[in-house]
Amino acid sequence: MNDLVTLSLVPQSKAPLTRIVMKLASRCNLNCSYCYVYNKGDSSWRVRPPVMPAHVVLQSVLRIREHCESYQLKEIRISFHGGEPCLFGVVNFERLLTDLRSSLAGISTPRFYLQTNGVLIDDEWCRVLRMHEVAVGVSLDGPPEINDKFRVTKKNKGSYSQVVKSIEKLVSAGVRTELLCVMQLGADGGEIQRHMSKLGVSAVTYLLPDFTHDTIDPIRAVFGHSPVAKFVIGVFQEWLIQGWDQMKVGDLWNIIRILNGAPSKLETFGTSPPLYVFVETDGSIEGLDCLRVCADSFAATGLNIFQNDLQSISQLTAPQFQAIFERPSLAQDCKGCSERMTCAGGYLPHRYSSSNGFDNPSIWCEDIKLIFSYIRQELGINERLSV
Amino acid sequence: MPTSNPEASMEFTTTPTVGAASTPIPDDVKKKLQDAVRKTIKDELAKPENGGITAAGHAKSSISW
């Protein structure tokens, strides 16, 4: 196997990747109506192994070690994603964690993260996650009447009750557990935040809905021009009323950071590049996963861990790959905007149109401006403030 | 497990008013939050190591801020 690692070892000029996302499964046991992997037009998952095979796992471990050695990284963040990564199996997962730690010993400290729908989490998963200090993000969209409209099994049964049981298990087992929630347009953000705060987790992050300029019109027709701002401001108000120090709201905390002049810690706003890469179950190296909402196979690079090192994605010139390493150029319409250094153009997939590429403001531009303005006003943050 | 967003959410109709808190938020709560964020930023700036970016919503387990 070692001869496979000798390819392309020359470090490149771009900043090194600091997070590797391993897609342990390309299938999912849920069929959420809005999923960007399965239900937004991308079909690349169909030709991939359902779970990452042993030889791809091994080569991934070698590539991660090679990357840490080449760039002398003292720490590397390794996220496990899917599909549903728990389909990989808990025995295989524990072996992988052990192999990664062993392979990186004396080179780099791995920090592990798992993003799951929570359905398969049981006591054994909790034991492994706790023992290996894996931080877990569980996807949940709010109370059952909201969550179960979208986050359903393949038989169209709601997932809420099972997921909440899993969250309780994780919390009881002492696993660091946070929630990931897609903003529900038209729903009361305050009500959802109130619900999330009762689940015993340390944090929740709300995700902007994924659309492009090609697909947003029907949404606007129903929800008007600032549904995200209405949702987020509801969350913000509830968060402060219930006690912001009781449970963090990741995206709001991050917005307050960037309004105070700090670098962003989320890729949706701000000038900081994400510096991560995905490894698919067949060993393909891919860029920003969510670009699948733009068009079929839009995240594909043609690179593979058997022929290429992880950092080689930095040599691709298309803006969607350069965006991993440096904030993409602002759209023409954003260059005179007062939020160009805070929003910095928004999340790349949300800028896309088939006619104009990424040379557009975010579809959520109006919402972002409203949210930033509201939070500045509420917290008394000067527009020119920096730390 | 990947999440993005729903056409299906069209079924919801509640529309909180932008900027109008149903319960007023005390000024000292706002100030403490702002102070806490600024303190973490200053603490980060004092460290050579930068913390890294959360591969948001999508890559992300949300954890690292």
**Residue in B with minimal Cα distance to A241:** B25
| Nearest beta carbon to residue B59 from set A19, A231, A248 | A19
Lowest mean pLDDT among A219-228, A306-315, A377-386: A377-386
Quote the CA–CA distance of A38 and A31 in Å, as a whole number: 8
pLDDT at position A43 is 80
A interface test, pick of B35, B60, B64 with most A CB neighbours within 10 Å: B60
Tell me how close the Cα of B31 comes to any Cα of chain A, in angstroms: 7
pLDDT in tens, A35-77: 877 777 778 888 899 999 999 999 999 999 999 999 999 999 9
What is the average pLDDT score of chain A? 91
Q: Provide φ and ψ at A355, rounded to 5°.
A: -85, -25
* Ramachandran class of A87: left when φ > 0, alpha when ψ lies in -120 to 50, beta otherwise: alpha
Q: How far is CA B28 from CA A164, B40, B42, in A?
A: 34, 18, 21
Identity (one letter) of the amino acid at A127? Answer: R
ipTM: 0.83
pLDDT in tens, A153-172: 989 999 999 999 999 999 99
Q: Is B54 in a helix, a strand, or coil?
A: strand
Q: Does residue A113 have a pLDDT over 90?
A: yes
Q: Model-level pTM? A: 0.87
Q: Does residue A193 have a pLDDT over 80?
A: yes
A83, A86, A92, A97: CA torsion to nearest 10 = 90
**Residue in A with minimal Cα distance to B36:** A245
Q: Provide the H-helix boundaries in chain B.
A: 27-45
Identity (one letter) of the amino acid at A186? Answer: G
Identity (one letter) of the amino acid at A2? Answer: N
Give the residue, A108 or A323, on which the prediction is more confident.
Answer: A108
User: Looking at beta carbons, which residues of chain B come within 8 Å of A180?
Assistant: 3, 57, 60-62
pLDDT at position B49 is 55
Whether cis (ω within 30° of 0) applies to the bond prior to A83 is yes
Residues of chain B where predicted confidence (pLDDT) is lower than 70? 1-22, 47-65
The answer for B 14-43 residues in CB contact with A (under 8 A) is 14-19, 21-23, 25, 29-34, 36-38, 40-42
| Nearest beta carbon to residue B1 from set A116, A186, A266 | A116
Question: Which residues, 6 or more positions from A318, have their beta carbon under 8 angstroms from its beta carbon?
Answer: none
> Which residues, listed in sequence order, are joined to residue A138 by a DSSP beta bridge?
A116, A179
